[in-house]
Amino acid sequence: MNQIIDPPAIGQDFAAIKQRQQATWASGDFAVIGTTLQIVGESLAEAADVRAGERVLDVAAGNGNATLAAARRFAEVTSTDYVPALLEKGRARAAAEGLAVRFQVADAEDLPFGDGSFDVVLSTFGAMFTPDHGRPAREMLRVARHGGRIGLANWTPEGFIGRLFKVVGAYVPPPAGLKSPALWGTESHIVELFGPKAAQIRCERRLFNFRYRSAAHWIQVFRDYYGPTHKAFAALDAAGRAALERDIASLLEEMNIGGSSSLVVPGEYLEIVVTKR
């Protein structure tokens, strides 16, 4: 997880960074977390106006939240990720619902599809984590047809996950100069990435509520199953792990609106729909 760093990355070995990120996302079991975010995929499919018969690409799909949402609307869906194990989780979910989905291992920064291949391109909390922000934006624009839509859901810097990035980054710093993924949750950065080829950009701030039994329960689940948090705890000694746990618990308690009997933490994200020229 990264801190907010505004200057562009200079001289970064993106290939090495991506390899480490891939190992991070393959650790734990993101599907345990991912399934709780399904409502975001449904909201994004509605915002992007996914229609029956449209060709839809889910980029950095994880275990398939936007994939399933689009397939439930009878679209022709291709679900991609660079972690094969996550695609298998999505495949199992689609099979359980009897949904016809094509699954393909693919890198968000180098999509193996022709220009204008899709009517709609979606990504929920996926493309935002790529190290070189410009490349996935260019790729999503390239594979979308003229007049097609690109729908994104990205955590904001000011929201819970954006603040969590800062807490974790204080203990396990990101590579120097690497742009924060939370920049994808700012309208200005989206305009910078997509504006030159966009006929329209619509951005709306939304909330996803993290619902857990307690702060300790949230930490246990994310420590065991969420790759970035799993790796961060593993990189620290006993004292560091205790301090990180304490700081995360403090953030959770500060933002909890669920009272003393449960944990409900609103996580702000930016829902974006780009219409390509």
Evaluate whether 1 touches 174 at the Cβ level (below 8 Å): yes
Strand (E) or helix (H) holding 152: strand 144-155
**CA–CA dist 179, 131 (Å, integer):** 7
**pTM score, whole prediction:** 0.92
Q: Look at residues 269, 41, 44 and name the one whose alpha carbon lies nearest to residue 150.
A: 44
Say what the pLDDT of residue 17 is.
77
**CA–CA dist 238, 48 (Å, integer):** 46
Q: Look at residues 153, 198, 189, 132 and name the one whose alpha carbon lies nearest to residue 58.
A: 153
Q: Which residues are CB-neighbours of 23 under 8 A, at least 6 positions away?
A: none
Say what the pLDDT of residue 174 is.
85
Say what the pLDDT of residue 4 is.
33
State how far the alpha carbon of 103 is from the alpha carbons of 46, 119, 129, 130, in Å: 22, 17, 20, 20
Evaluate whether 251 touches 179 at the Cβ level (below 8 Å): no
Say what the pLDDT of residue 19 is.
80
SS3 116: coil
The pLDDT tens digits for 161-208 are 999 999 999 999 987 778 999 999 999 999 999 999 999 999 999 999
DSSP assignment, residue 176? T
The more confident residue out of 9 and 230 is 230
Would you give the end-to-end CA distance of the chain in angstroms? 33
Residue 37 has pLDDT above 90, yes or no: yes
160's tokens: 């819970």
**CA–CA dist 14, 213 (Å, integer):** 38
CATH of 14-156+175-209+269-276, one of 3.90.1150.10, 3.40.630.30, 1.10.10.10, 3.40.50.150: 3.40.50.150
The gap from C-alpha 28 to its chain's centroid, in whole angstroms, comes to 16
Question: Which residue is listed with tokens 């499919």?
Answer: 45
Q: Where are the domains of the chain?
A: 14-156+175-209+269-276
